[in-house]
Amino acid sequence: MKRLLLFAMVCASISFVSAQKKFDKVSKVTSSEIRWWGYKVVKTEASSHSGTVKLKSGKFNFDHTVLVDGEFIIDMRSMMAGDVSDEDQIKLTDDLKSSNFFEVKKFPIAKFHLTKIIPLANSEYNSTVYGDLTLKGVRKTISFPANVYVTQFTTVIESAKFSLNRRDFKVFYQSSLKDYFIKNEMDIQFKVSTEKLDNDNRIPVKKKK
């Protein structure tokens, strides 16, 4: 009985160590910029709004020198409308953070788990990025074009401006006619990097062998 218990403990220890050593290298994001755009159904400059939200933390996981995946935490409390000023800015920002839209008190963070990168040829962007976005407790798989550069453990991702359907993530007025005047599509564009690289030293991500 004692030998059986000891064997079980050894197996558990080995499993724990193996789980701990899942990746050979973790590279943390040191620079980030995330922008958003929202629109009224009648899309004009006056009825469109834009702003920013900050990345709380981010990292890329590597197996040797091969990029495996990435994990990013977005601080929804940092959301800010940037195209209006003074009282209008405060009012719009507070509305976006309220239960009418992103409900940041209940859902203070959003998460993006980067699952794969598929290189593209003959395109404005060199890759398609795939991953799972969790927003307001709802997880959806999304994809978007991006320029991705990986040099050893240094990584840069510069996305195109891409659209999300806000209703997929329950981002809407719960009971108001106002919601019918807002487009379901909201646009996102971001850049994240593990360190600053000059253009001459950027290497596009390569397809896994």
Residue 165 lies in a domain: yes
User: pTM of the full predicted structure?
Assistant: 0.80
Residue 67 lies in a domain: yes
Residue 86 lies in a domain: yes
Residue 58 lies in a domain: yes
Residue 202 lies in a domain: no
**Would you state the pLDDT for residue 15?**
35
Residue 39 lies in a domain: yes
- Find the CATH number of the domain harbouring 78: 2.40.128.110
d(CA 63, CA 127): 20
What's the domain range around 127? Answer: 25-196
DSSP letters, the chain, are -HHHHHHHHHHHHHHHHHHHTS-SEEEE--EEEEEEEEEBSS--STTEEEEEEEEEEEEEEEETTEEEEEEEEEEEEEEEE-SS-HHHHHHHHHHHHSTTTT-TTT--EEEEEEEEEEE-SSSSSSEEEEEEEEETTEEEEEEEEEEEEEETTEEEEEEPPEEEEGGGGT-S-SS-GGGGGB-SEEEEEEEEESS---GGG--B-----
Residue 13 lies in a domain: no
Cβ proximity of 75 and 109 under 8 Å: yes
Q: What is the number of structural domains in the chain?
A: 1
Report mean pLDDT in 10-residue bins for the chain, 209 residues: 42 36 81 94 68 96 91 97 78 90 96 96 93 97 96 93 95 71 91 73 57
Residue 14 lies in a domain: no
